[in-house]
A and B are shown apart, each in its own frame.
Chain A
Amino acid sequence: MSNESILHGDVNQLCGFKIGSGHYAVEVLDVQEVVKPQNVTPVPLAPDYIDGLINLRGQIVTAINIRRLFGLEESNSDDYMNIIVSSGENLYSLVVDEIMDVMDIENSRFEDTPDTIDEKISNFINGVYKLDDKLITLLSLEKILSLEMN
């Protein structure tokens, strides 16, 4: 795919990741970096989807457990990844199972959130990309981080 089509906005660059068997993605431009598991300091009395705080080179990052936010089954695996995103002055980490490649996907494949998706999830997504072999759910950082606002 040419750079030109990316520039012209008919193609979206996504950072894909997996939770369980599901494929998800966030806009690549929102992602600051991806880091391996870090020491997590739990925050007692915080909402359950907050795993805790991690130290990213001297900055405090709030880790959000996407699995728990979406009400999916708990995983006990130590093998997970932190997708670091920033919002305002704060840094957040989306805790996911596995990082996929950066994907270029045509916007024509995008569809609005289907009604059939569980409300726990549909509250936090923008829509779905329909690929030939799979569906990729596009997360809305805005919606996830707006949890902070309520």
Chain B
Amino acid sequence: MSDAQQAIINEFLVESFENLSNINEELTRFEKDPNDKELLNAIFRKIHTLKGSASFLGFSNLQVITHAVESILDFIRNDQLKADSSLIDLFLESFDACQAILKDIESSGKESETDYSELTKRLKNNLEQAMTGDKALVEDKHVPSAQEMIEEASDADENSVQNVQEEVTEVETPKQEDKKVSPSQQAPPVQTATGSATNSQKLADSTVRVNVKLLDKIMNVVGELVINRNQILQYSKHTDSAELNRFAQQLNVITTELQTDIMTTRMQPVGNVFNKFERVVRDLARGQGKNISLEISGKETELDKTLIEVIKDPLTHLVRNSVDHGIESPEDRQAAGKNETGKLSIKAFHEGGQVIIEISDDGKGIDTEAVVKKAIERGIFTESEVPNLSKNRILNVIFNPGFSTAAAVTNISGRGVGMDVVKSNIEKIGGGVEINSEFGKGTSFRLKIPLTLAIVPALVVESGGETFAIHQKNLVELVMLDESEGNSLEVLHGNEFYRLRGELIPIVRLNKVLNYECKSQNESTLNIIVLKAEGRVYGLIVDDVLDTQEIVVKPLSRKLKDINIYAGATIMGDGKVALIIDALGFYNLVENRAVEKAAEESSQEAEVVFTEDHQEVLLFKLGDGRIYGVPLSLINRLEEFMSTSVESSGDQSLIRYRESSMPLINLENLLHLEGESQLVKLKGKEEKFHCIVIDIQQYSFGLVVDSIYDIATSEAEIETNTVDREGLLGTLYINDSLITLVDVHKIIESTNIGKKLFGEIDKSMLKGKIILAEDSSLYRNVQIELFESAGLEVLVAKNGKEGCELFKSNADVDLIVTDIEMPHVSGYEFAEFVRETNKDVPIIAVSTRVSDKDKEHGLKSGFTRHLQKLNKVEVINTIKEFLG
């Protein structure tokens, strides 16, 4: 193929792709408003152009399809045929075929072997129907039979140019009147390869095609120029030369103008992307039997070309999500009292130097409760965190990788991939995603996109003698705090906070985080920069706020990028390099450090941090003056009773508690300790004593102690070989003192009343291999002992994750006993994992969480039974049920 010919084909491809790019949107619009003659004409012209070029260049498949479509369109144009949905479907399909052919031509230079005869046949049938229909009586215009037309098209390559020429005149001239195209409508003039030479000449005169790479390069050079300008401006500030100042100002104005103009050349209307959604939404909605009206506004809003490329996929994903998950089926909508037709709106507009794109639907919204539940399962939140979570934080969870609350995985969405990608893609270009949702009312996503990438407005600050820049997009406000006037930061748990109009925001000192020497600064005023990243607001304290500036963002080398707190570097007016602080990365760093710190401190403080293998122990003293401990998770309440209200039944002391009598346990007696129990000491006196209340099934037991000492957290291993008597579990070092752990089960069992209640455990006859997953080493030991003494072979996992692995390598186990609350992988997740491959093996959950809700959750996850942690008898009996 000669160069000249190739050039023509390239021209043809560019033009045709351009023509076809909007045709889907126009067709769907036409479907909604079939009376829009102008629109129909625009479509007709496009297809006509395509047909003409195709026959001129000898692409026969393309020609046959376009010719048939054109003919049908002509009938519609002459009101001889009505465009119904199925016909529009056929058109859409035809244009898809056209596009596929064009792509083939683009890649191989010729049409592929793909067989389109089925499509052309259907087109032909439609055409014939139209012609035989009663309405197919045309006044004076000669209408060729369908057969004729197709044939004419097929052998068009031979006498193409002529043929096309003739047809153009034939079709166009009589239509001149109703072809009054409004000037604003920029549909390209009808042009066949030869016929419109003069027209396209005019167009070519006013525009030039420029390679995007060249534009990129120019943009870079302008970036350099901006830096240079900044340097000259800075320099001129320090000189007295009026001349230089004048030149510098001129340079400033010119550079700014140039920068704006160059940026404009790269701008494209977002409509280029939005238009595709007409088709996407239409197809999806039809496929799912939903009625959706799509409203698009702000198509003309412009964005940098590279940005448009980047946002295309995230936007498509969000739109698909809205159609698939957001908007309900017509029946559901009716049931919810909504209009059957769902509304999906896509809006683009400018706001605060950014482009905002909003995608909102009036569908079912996001169920925050379901999200929270799932987030807890996945370990994103802990249960104790939940009440303090803002709605915003909860909604943002859906951006976590792999997170999906969709009940069913469809081929469109719900696979848990996507939202995280949406977010990371948008953030990559310096934008942000906000989400808002009312359960039952709808969801809206708000994408903030910067106008351009390379040059951004930034706040320039100083800290520890170094200069830093912060993206303006993260900046909320600046606060200058004069401590001498009685305003100050508040300190909670060693962390600083500032009360900003009533709301407490965390405060971070930049130099502290970056390990800078604290500059001896004027301590009485603090510069707080209030930043917002991903919905989290925090204050950053710097030494000085210098300026706002347009900065040119330069990427950092890999290793420095990995620190994750810098968004890049820039060159300041004085030629020095300044680091750009990434507000989000910086916050994450601070947060991670705080978590680490908390974990370190948790061994001293009784703070609930979920680490592996740690247990909280309630410490108390008994009559012998020594310290004993009971795992906190076993204890239901701590009570104080008057010694006068103790009653006796036989040898057993009882007390009236919650409308029944609760046995009081004399630990000193049962454990054969020195010293006397409060029960004995206070007999006949009128004094209060402490009691640890433990519930087993519906019964409560009270352990009488001398005094409650403390609550401690320990990760130390329990020494079990130090036990010298029944009723003790072992010893443990907590804060350097030796603690004896009391085996509450055994003690309660060994009381007369316990024996009566639970009976002796018959452990002798069990046989089998079980997996035990339990994160607390205390419980692990108790249970291992229990199961082994019952004759079972016990495979031990310290958490759900180990459990999964054990199960993988020991799929033949007879039974699984698991805790629920475990780090890494919870009992629920463990059970779900097992159930993926094995539906039959009994899984017994042994937990302190036995509310109905927990049980329901457990059953869903695949638990066979859900037992209370304390009750050995019940556990063994249950196991016996399955293995006995």
* Residues of chain A having any CB pair with chain B under 8 Å: 39, 41-47, 50, 52-55, 58-60, 62, 89-90, 92, 147-149
Contacts and interface: CB of A to CB of B under 8 A. Distances in A.
A43 B466 CA distance: 10
B577 A50 contact: no
Contact of B560 (A54, A55, A62): A62
Contact of A60 (B466, B467, B516, B556): B556
Contacts of B258: none
Interface stretch (B374-382, B568-576, B816-824, B870-878): B568-576
> Shortest 3 CB-CB distances between A and B: which pairs?
A44-B514, A41-B577, A148-B558
A44 B513 CA distance: 9
Nearest to B227: A58
B555 to A, nearest CB: 8
7 contacts: A39-B576, A43-B560, A43-B563, A44-B514, A46-B560, A60-B554, A90-B555
Contact of A43 (B224, B554, B555, B566): B566
Given A44-B515, A89-B555, 7 more contacts: A39-B575, A43-B563, A46-B563, A58-B228, A60-B556, A92-B557, A148-B557
B12 to A, nearest CB: 37
B174 to A, nearest CB: 60
A68 B558 CA distance: 19
Chain B facing A: main interface SS: mixed
Contacts of A46: 559-560, 563
A64 B787 CA distance: 60
B463 to A, nearest CB: 10
Contact of A47 (B228, B516, B559): B559
Contacts of B161: none
Interface in B486-537: 514-516
Interface in B542-594: 554-560, 563, 565-566, 569, 571, 575-579
Contact of B563 (A45, A60, A92, A147): A45
A55 B573 CA distance: 12
A53 B224 contact: no
A52 B466 CA distance: 12
Interface string B451-487: 0000000000000001100000000000000000000
A60 B566 CA distance: 14
A47 B563 CA distance: 9
Nearest to A53: B577
Interface in B212-238: 224, 227-228
B366 to A, nearest CB: 37
Nearest to B228: A58
A40 to B, nearest CB: 8
A90 B557 contact: yes
Contacts of B558: 90, 148-149
A141 B835 CA distance: 53
A60 B514 contact: no
Given A41-B577, A53-B579, A147 B559 contact: yes
A39 B572 CA distance: 12
Contacts of A45: 514-515, 563, 565
Contacts of A53: 556, 569, 577, 579
A62 B516 contact: no
A55 B563 contact: no
| Residue in B556, B557, B566, B576 whose Cβ sees the most chain A Cβ within 10 Å | B557
Contacts of B224: 58
Q: Which of A44, A45, A46 has the most CB of B within 10 A?
A: A44
Contact of A55 (B516, B559, B566, B575): B575
Contacts of B577: 39, 41, 52-55, 60
B576 A55 contact: yes
A55 B554 CA distance: 11
Contact of B559 (A42, A50, A60): A50
Most chain A CB atoms below 10 A, which of B514, B515, B571: B571
A5 B153 CA distance: 70
B579 A41 contact: yes
Contacts of A42: 466
Contacts of A58: 224, 227-228, 571
B576 A60 contact: no
Contacts of B578: 41
Chain A CB count within 10 A is highest, among B467, B516, B560, B575, for B560
Contacts of B576: 39, 41, 55
A58 B467 CA distance: 17
Contacts of B557: 62, 90, 92, 148
B227 A60 contact: no
A43 B515 contact: no
Nearest to A59: B554
Given A41-B576, A147-B559, A55 B514 contact: no
B63 to A, nearest CB: 47
B592 to A, nearest CB: 12
Contact of A50 (B514, B516, B560, B575): B560
Contacts of B563: 43, 45-46
Contacts of A39: 575-577
A42 B466 CA distance: 8
A53 B575 CA distance: 12
B76 to A, nearest CB: 54
Nearest to A148: B558
A149 B252 CA distance: 40
A89 B563 CA distance: 19
B515 A60 contact: no
A148 B559 contact: yes
B465 to A, nearest CB: 10
A96 B569 CA distance: 24
Contacts of B515: 44-45
A49 B576 CA distance: 20
A64 to B, nearest CB: 9
A92 B558 CA distance: 11
Interface string B601-622: 0000000000000000000000
B565 A60 contact: no
Nearest to B231: A58
Given A46-B560, A92-B557, A147-B559, A60 B575 contact: no
Contacts of B579: 41, 43, 53
Contact of A41 (B466, B514, B516): B466
A39 B467 CA distance: 13
B448 to A, nearest CB: 27
A44 B516 contact: yes
A45 B562 CA distance: 10
A54 B563 CA distance: 18
B90 to A, nearest CB: 49
A46 B560 CA distance: 6
A54 B556 CA distance: 12
Nearest to B566: A43
Q: Select the residue from A39, A41, A42 with max chain B CB neighbours within 10 A.
A: A41
A38 B571 CA distance: 14
A59 B577 CA distance: 9
A99 B565 CA distance: 35
Contacts of A89: 555
A42 B516 CA distance: 10
A147 B557 CA distance: 11
Nearest to A57: B224
Nearest to B514: A44
Nearest to B516: A44
A52 to B, nearest CB: 8
Interface string B382-412: 0000000000000000000000000000000
A47 B555 CA distance: 18
Contacts of B569: 41, 53, 60
Contacts of B571: 55, 58, 60
Contacts of A59: 554
Contacts of B559: 46-47, 50, 62, 147-148
Nearest to B563: A45
Nearest to A43: B560
A43 B563 CA distance: 10
B265 to A, nearest CB: 22
